[in-house]
Amino acid sequence: MKSFDVPIIYRSPLISAIKKKRKEMDKLKKDFTPTLLDFGPVLIYLARHFGFCYGVENAIEIAFRTVEENPGKRIFLLSEMIHNPQVNADLQAHGIIFLQDTYGKQLISFDEITAEDIVLIPAFGTTLAIEQQLQQIGIRTEKYNTTCPFVEKVWNRSEAIAKKDYTIIIHGKPKHEETRATFSHAAANAPSVVVKDMAEAKALAKYITGEKPASAFYEEFNNQCTTGFDVTKHLKRIGVVNQTTMLASDTQAIADYLKKVIIEASGTEDSFADTRDTLCYATNDNQTAVSGMLETKADLAIVVGGYNSSNTSHLVELCEEKLPTYFINSEENILSPKEILHHNFHTKEELLTADFLPARDPVKVLITSGASCPDALVEGVINKLTGFFPVIKSVTQLTAELQ
């Protein structure tokens, strides 16, 4: 796979050495056991796969190269490049100006942009309407488009099944940038509707079977379906695609459920399109690696990443099922051996927990991070944790041993 030129500040000598060694030992990516870092009184288990994915590194490389190659030019970013506060702050420090917030709220009017300006499209992609608006101003969106190729794969698959008269069901968070973009592209080719979870998939199924009247659909799925969506016509043939950062198991479960429902209702297997190939490799790898990591008995888990990161929240969700889990965005959240400030993504609250490190010897900690989280932040967390113990070796010594 292609390697990218991202700022050295995002790299970690320790994590790079670990990932290199694991890749050499497991080229086919069949081993999902965690990597043990033995510091004596604290044992840290790192997930097999975590951190920057292909799409994130591609976006970061394009953004920083654009700044370097265009001194003196105004450079705008349509919205957050990725869902990581440190990376977005770095981009702003380099002079990049955000046009919208993560929910699409306008921060700077498009009327203030000229054809001489540069506008970067984030890794999530954007809607066709916004892309057209920028092009009408004279902005060359194609040159500075950092849309993840795996997101584009979803769009292409949607277009392909739309040509065969399938309605597109999108499993995603309706307000998320990627889902808004995917909905826009899908809606350009076929009737489309967004379901955020299995509960909504089951609600949709009742319109497929006729258990609910068509008139109730437009209230229940308000702002989640295409204009003119006709329940009596558009739920006869369907295919399911996803926001690439959702739980892969959830998307598969929703697809399997809707497939069963529509085949029973229609009497033909041709009523459901096979779209399994739209699941992102990084999402799959990171989630499978967490499942593998959770087979290790431990005291707690720490997940590092941006609080508005969808893929990171799903890693937290998996960990929470097994043991105490703390969702943080940097080592600064670890205030002391006694206190940690962490995020509850269910309630969107920041919580202060006391005595998060148990009085055991050794303390066993599982660590992973989201696809938009720099490895340097993970190393920072490891440094912070090991600093609380009389370790038998330092992070620097361990790195040297691995290289």
Active site residue ranges: 178
Structure-token pair, residue 179: 């889902």
Q: Are 393 and 11 in contact (CB under 8 A)?
A: no
Q: How far is CA 174 from the centre of its chain?
A: 14
Q: Among residues 83, 44, 86, which one has the least CA distance to residue 385? A: 44
Q: Among residues 83, 88, 107, 266, which one has the least CA distance to residue 176? A: 83
- Supply the DSSP string of 102-114, one letter for each residue: TT--BSS-GGG--
Q: Are 94 and 67 in contact (CB under 8 A)?
A: yes
- Supply the DSSP string of 334-348, one letter for each residue: B-SSSEEEEEETTTT
CA pair distance 233, 231, nearest whole angstrom: 5
CA pair distance 251, 257, nearest whole angstrom: 10
Q: How far is CA 147 from the centre of its chain?
A: 13
